[in-house]
Amino acid sequence: MQTDDPGNRTPEGDGPGSTYRELKTAYPGELKAYTSRDNEGWALYRAVAIVKRGNNALTFKMDSPLNQPLADSATVDLVKVSTWEWRGDDEDCA
């Protein structure tokens, strides 16, 4: 499931329009940012921040370009809820 509706929020209150700073505050020690095309491949098309919850993942697709650190002011464009296996940015493929 994926959403770009600012009215859809996680239990922590985050969703489209949230800033990277807000994500870091909401998920201390859980949030991992991927900003380059690394060998894990979780940030192939855009920067992402990912939280693991059991066998599931929250992927926050960010408005920040690849190969640059995420600015605290970078905002979430899309939120994807998936199994851990399907985490990351999949260029919005079905």
**Is pLDDT above 80 for 88?**
yes
Q: Within a 10 A sphere around the Cβ of 51, how many other Cβ atoms?
A: 19
Helix (H, G, I), strand (E, B) or coil at 17: coil
Confidence (pLDDT) at 94: 47
Q: pLDDT by residue (tens digit) across 26-47?
A: 999 999 998 887 666 566 788 9
Q: Does this model's pTM top 0.85?
A: yes
Query: Looking at the predicted structure, is the pLDDT value of residue 14 above 90?
Result: yes
Per-residue pLDDT reduced to its tens digit, 52-64: 999 999 999 999 9
Q: Bridge partners of 51?
A: 31, 58
Report the C-alpha gap between 74 and 78 in whole angstroms.
12
- Give all strands of the β-sheet with 31-34 in edge-to-edge order: 2-3, 76-83, 56-62, 48-53, 31-34
